[in-house]
Amino acid sequence: MKLHCHRPSLVTAFQVVGAVVPTRTPKDILKNVKLQVADGIATLIGTDQEVGIRYEIPGVEVASGGEVLLPAAHLLSILRELSDEHVDLELNDGAIWVRAGHSEFQLPTPDTEEFPPVPSFADENYLVISGRGFREAVRRTVFATDVESTRYALGGVLLELESDALTMAATDSRRLAVVRSSCRTEGAAELENDRPVVPSKALSLAERSIGDDEFEVFLAVHANDVVIKTGNSTISSRLVDGRFPNYRQVIPTEPRQTIELVVGPFYSVVRQAQLVTDNDSRGVDFHFTSGLLTLNSQSAEIGQSKVELPIGYDGDELTITFDPRFVAEFLRVLELEKSIRLELIDDESAAVFRVDESYTYVIMPLSRTQQDSRP
């Protein structure tokens, strides 16, 4: 096997694939990535046995084919230190040679037979989503997952699949994010699994792999796994075991107050109030009065703050306490000029943020009793 590669493209490939390569694992073979060359195409492959990725490397001139395992961390370090525009890789006598300019490196290569298989995209029945729509849906949901939880399937995102629509829902039991996007179906209309829960790691990897919003994303769901193809990348993943909560039951439908806000100014005051919070005193009081929103926070260790934002509000006076992290993480994935709608019932009921008609974010308030007892 012998290749002539565009070095920056090879660095990008190793960075993308390296996202699934485990740094700590009892199986040392997984610390490597496989370079596979066939039919003039070079593909870099990595997996942690839960999530896998195949990445077709652009800018490669193939002299001869084959496959080899490469030490991911060491080779990426070498490629980053080199300054030449191109680099040559050659497999010779059980070792991989890396040559560029006046530099030459030789690295040992393990047996490729020990590396677990990573599937390519070979499905005839799948959904097609625009790159822009998929990227937006993932960014607006994955932050609300709980990867540490063993309850239900909170470490993943629920995908509700229809022939012309895709709904993503994520929750950690304290907040909920739901996004609805349009799509189309290729092949059979009936899907093998229309409510999979996909690990947040796999979706984030697919989202980062979209090199251009104009790329389309192909999504094939099976009984126990999912395969996602976008641009140069094909991501495969096991589905999350467990039952996803019935999220529709927790979305209030009859608010008593509706408040229009603009993301930029609202995000600014939330971040300011967040500065005077700590692990023992996370809550910020959101106090709504005629024409004004006042955010109050205090901490025995840090001090206190009062931040005001003029708003178009003429309802009854209302104070509700939120963890500002949950509000800020929602606002962070939106454009600063975006208009949002906050729907409230009272100081103890779930609050709903709505963006257009496609994005719903629900957040549970903190107990006022607990906050009033702060030192």
- Helices 131-139, 200-208: axis angle to 10 degrees equals 140
The answer as to CATH 3.10.150.10 being correct for domain 126-245 is: yes
What residue segments make up the domains of the chain, in order of their start?
Answer: 2-114, 126-245, 251-372
The fold adopted by the segment(s) 2-114 is DNA Polymerase III; Chain A, domain 2 (3.10.150)
Of 24, 50, 22, 21, nearest in space to 34 by CA: 21
Comparing 2-114 with 251-372, is the CATH topology the same?
yes
* Contacting residues for 364 by C-beta, under 8 A, at least 6 apart: 174, 175, 350
Amino acid at 257: Q
| Helix (H) / strand (E) containing 30 | none
pLDDT > 70: what percent of the chain? 96
The pLDDT assigned to 302 comes to 83
Beta bridge partners of 351: 363
Residue 191 has pLDDT above 80, yes or no: no
Cβ-count burial 138-173 (b if 16+ within 10 Å, e if not): bbbbbbbbbeeeeebbbbbbbbbbeeeebbbbbbbe
The DSSP bridge partners found for residue 98 are: 89, 105
Tokens 């907040």 appear where? 175
Assess whether pLDDT exceeds 60 at residue 184: yes
Q: Which CATH number does the domain 251-372 belong to among 2.60.40.1250, 3.30.565.10, 3.40.430.10, 3.10.150.10?
A: 3.10.150.10
The pLDDT-based confidence of 370 (bands split at 50, 70, 90) is very low
Q: Please give the Cα distance from 184 to 237 (Å, whole number).
A: 22
Residues 35-71 have pLDDT tens digits of 999 888 899 999 999 999 999 998 888 888 889 999 9
